[in-house]
């Protein structure tokens, strides 16, 4: 059995209890408040928090659409961008912390569903943990947080020049990757990375910079267990990949 953590944003009301059986798609938590999100721009752009302001594309009071660029850094190795996950109004920018706040343009019910069949193992105000019989693969090193999405394969080695917008919103699967290529992939919108060959020093650097995008390094024999189009959850804190 695999323990699968599902993170809860602030303001969500939990709809299940510990020990309860749940089905895939069942509502675990919901909120009818206006959705507000914060984005840590420094780690996502690879720069110091207090240097973020000059790279902003949007400012407090501006309207923003989901997928629209809110900050961008251009360099010799290409550019890194951060996009908004929701449509709304920029409500605040904390220059010292490099934090960007967006308030959703409308109030509507927001729900979080269970991605798997299972039993609720633990409930607190930050997460709901569901124990499931879904197949899981344990990695050997990792950095970042949690992500759920569809896998897209980059082949034996991820090439810096071949990274494009097709990876946006996807979990990237690659045989090998170096630091600059990994940073570009995350900057282009990859929400997670599964990789066989990546220096441990790169993962350590990403962890120190608190880059939230999960990157999980796996054993060579495990890479054949994944394919494009497959849906997975990455939990970097446990070096765990759960196949949905």
- Residue-wise pLDDT for 10-26, tens only, equals 778 899 999 999 988 88
**pLDDT of 157:** 87
Q: Which residues of the chain have pLDDT under 50?
A: none
> For residue 172, what pLDDT is reported?
95
The predicted structure's pLDDT at residue 79: 84
Contact 65, 4 (CB under 8 A): no
CA 208 – CA 211 distance, rounded (Å):
8
Q: What is the pLDDT of residues 147-194, one digit of tens each?
A: 999 999 998 888 898 888 889 999 999 999 999 999 999 999 999 999
In the chain the domains, ranked by start, together with CATH numbers, are 34-107 (2.40.50), 135-243 (3.50.30.10)
**Strand arrangement, sheet containing 88-94:** 34-40, 99-107, 88-94, 63-64
Q: Which two tokens stand for residue 188?
A: 């282009």
């Amino acid at each position: 059995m695999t323990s699968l953590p599902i993170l809860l944003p602030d303001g969500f009301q939990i709809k299940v209890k510990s020990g309860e059986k749940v089905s895939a798609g069942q509502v675990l938590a919901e909120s009818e408040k206006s959705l507000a999100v914060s984005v840590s721009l420094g780690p996502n752009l690879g720069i110091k928090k207090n240097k973020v302001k000059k790279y902003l594309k949007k400012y407090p009071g501006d309207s923003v659409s989901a997928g629209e660029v809110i900050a961008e850094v251009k360099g010799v190795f290409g550019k890194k961008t951060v996009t908004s996950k929701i449509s709304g109004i920029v409500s605040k920018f904390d220059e010292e912390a490099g934090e960007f706040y967006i308030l959703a343009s409308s109030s509507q019910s927001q729900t979080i569903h269970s991605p798997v069949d299972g039993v609720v193992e633990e409930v607190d105000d930050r997460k709901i943990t569901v124990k499931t019989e879904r197949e899981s693969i344990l990695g050997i090193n990792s950095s970042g947080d949690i992500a759920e999405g569809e896998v897209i394969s980059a082949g034996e080695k991820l090439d810096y020049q071949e990274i494009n917008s097709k990876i946006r919103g996807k979990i990237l699967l690659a045989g090998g990757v170096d630091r600059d290529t990994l940073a570009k992939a995350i900057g282009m919108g990859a929400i997670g990375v599964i990789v066989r060959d990546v220096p441990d020093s790169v993962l350590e650097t990403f962890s120190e910079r608190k880059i939230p995008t999960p990157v999980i390094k796996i054993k060579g024999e495990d890479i054949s267990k994944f394919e494009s189009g497959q849906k997975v959850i990455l939990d970097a804190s446990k070096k765990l990949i759960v196949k949905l």
